[in-house]
Structure 1
Amino acid sequence: MRTYYINNGNENGGPFTLDELKNQPINKTTLVWYQGMDEWKYAADIVEFKPFFTVVPPPIKRATPAPKVEKKQTSDTILGLKKSYFFLVLAFLAIMITVLVLTIIQNNKKNELDLKNKQTEFGNEQIELQQKESNELRIQQEIQKRIESENNNKRRKDSINNRLIEIKNLLVEDKNQLAEAKNNLADAEDFKLLRSESTKDEQIRLFQNDIENWNKEIDQLENEENRLYLELETIH
């Protein structure tokens, strides 16, 4: 018995007998191959597959006569109620539905208003909390700045005091050097033996220069000392 292989474009299927192929999804463009064929062919091109694509017309349906509809006599009742009572009940239901709808709308508006009020309260609380945090942060920054300022002032005071001590020591030293230079000048002016006038004048000039230099240095140190004392008074 001949067996067939089919391919629907994705993968091959088979082998199938001709009866088994009746249960497979085959159309005219389905590729079919069986042993002895050189290549795949469309199902519509293979003779034994022709019955698969033969269209059988449906049986003729005969029209059935429409059933006769009996006319009902009009009644004065609706759903078992008199028309007047029915319309009265209908109006009452309409009023109840209207009241119910209005009540629901009013409750929804009330709920929306309550929700907006809660959101506003929550927003106000958030603003107050942020303001409080901002104030605390600003206070902490002020405290930190004050601490840094105090530390800077302390360091500056210590630096000034150390420099004042150094200046005092330098002044003592310079004043001693100045006194020594004055003594040397006095000795040079009084000493007359074993020197020429030019040598004497040269020595006097050197000692006078020393005295002038020491006076300048002492003035500079005293000016610096006064400035530091003034600066020290401005530091809190």
Structure 2
Amino acid sequence: MKRYYYIVDEVQHGPVSFNDLKKIKIVKQTMVWYEGMSDWSSAGDLEELRDLWVSMPPPIKKDPPVYKPILNESKVSFLQDNRSKVLLGSFLGVIVLVLFFSFSDRENTLLIQETKANSEMLNEQQKLIDEQNRKIAEQERIERERLEQQQREERQKKINELQFNLVEARKEREESVRHLNDVSAFKFLRSSSERNRQINEANEKIAFLDAKISEIESELSNLGVVY
């Protein structure tokens, strides 16, 4: 069964079934798409949706029968009487009034029924829109929580990596300090220039490790870890 998506007020809705589209009563200009289409299309251009706009002929209005009395000579003489004319006029006036109010009541009834049907249709459409908005909000909440969890995991992974590098850098610095103490002593047979070179190399390595340690501690501080 095809599932349709449609756009109302620049907001995408769906998926819904064909029967749901009938209830929503979309117009021909509504943009519609379903799986398999290369792009959105107006609902009026889709052959399978044309049943939504099949026009039904209006009901036949039957005018009330008008009875034309057959007047014989005696009735003609009766109508010629002034009183008879007044009575006949009053009778016809009553008939006109009855027909007028009857027609007005029928029009009012049809208007009330149409208003009620439109109201029910709008309520159903609003329910569908509210449900769709609820689903969208739920999906956004789930995606937001997933991203927050991913960010927390990435942050903790970065902290663990920096902490490991910090421990290793401190260990290496301690070894470099011991090496500096060793090369600074006079317990090795070497020239003075060789001794100075070794001392300078040891000091340079210690300075490099101090800068590395300071950089790692700064990164940890930016992540909320204080050392």
Instruction: Report the TM-score, using the length of structure 2 for normalisation.
Output: 0.59
- Cα deviations across residues 67-90 of structure 1 (Å, max 9, x unaligned)? xxxxxxxxxx96224724654555
Structure 1 stretches lacking a partner, 5+ long: 1-76, 231-236
2:154 is aligned, of 146, 154, 159, to: 159
- Cα deviations across residues 66-124 of structure 1 (Å, max 9, x unaligned)? xxxxxxxxxxx962247246545554444333222221221222222222222222223
CA shift, 1:133, in A, is 2.5
- CA distance in structure 2 between the aligned counterparts of 1:204 and 1:222, rounded to whole angstroms: 27
- Cα deviations across residues 111-160 of structure 1 (Å, max 9, x unaligned)? 22222222222223333333333222222222111100111111111112
1:79 is aligned, of 73, 76, 89, to: 73
Local SS of the residue matching 1:106: helix
Moved over 6 A (4+): none
1:141 is aligned, of 100, 111, 136, to: 136
Residue matched to 2:167: 172
Superposed counterparts of 1:185-224, under 5 Å: 185-191=180-186, 193-224=188-219
- CA distance in structure 2 between the aligned counterparts of 1:135 and 1:82, rounded to whole angstroms: 73
Residue matched to 1:150: 145
- CA distance in structure 2 between the aligned counterparts of 1:137 and 1:107, rounded to whole angstroms: 45
Local SS of the residue matching 2:189: coil
Do the aligned residues in 2 keep the contact of 1:188 with 1:204 (CA within 8 Å)?
yes
Report the AA paired with residue 122 of structure 1. A
Report the AA paired with residue 167 of structure 1. L
Residue matched to 1:129: 124
Report the AA paired with residue 219 of structure 1. S
2:91 is aligned, of 93, 96, 100, to: 96
- CA distance in structure 2 between the aligned counterparts of 1:222 and 1:101, rounded to whole angstroms: 100
- Identity among equivalent positions (%) equals 24
Residue matched to 1:11: none
Specify whether residues 194 and 89 from structure 1 end up closer, same or farther in structure 2 by C-alpha distance, changes over 3 A only.
Answer: same
- CA distance in structure 2 between the aligned counterparts of 1:149 and 1:137, rounded to whole angstroms: 18
Specify whether residues 191 and 110 from structure 1 end up closer, same or farther in structure 2 by C-alpha distance, changes over 3 A only.
Answer: farther
Asked if residue 107 in structure 1 is aligned to residue 102 in structure 2, the reply is yes
Report the AA paired with residue 79 of structure 1. E
Do the aligned residues in 2 keep the contact of 1:78 with 1:86 (CA within 8 Å)?
no
Q: How big is the alpha-carbon RMSD for the aligned residues of Structure 1 and Structure 2?
A: 2.6
Paired residues in the alignment total 154
Instruction: Report the TM-score, using the length of structure 1 for normalisation.
Output: 0.57
CA shift, 1:177, in A, is 0.9
- CA distance in structure 2 between the aligned counterparts of 1:82 and 1:101, rounded to whole angstroms: 23
- CA distance in structure 2 between the aligned counterparts of 1:139 and 1:152, rounded to whole angstroms: 20
Specify whether residues 175 and 124 from structure 1 end up closer, same or farther in structure 2 by C-alpha distance, changes over 3 A only.
Answer: same
- CA distance in structure 2 between the aligned counterparts of 1:152 and 1:209, rounded to whole angstroms: 43
Structure 2 stretches lacking a partner, 5+ long: 1-70
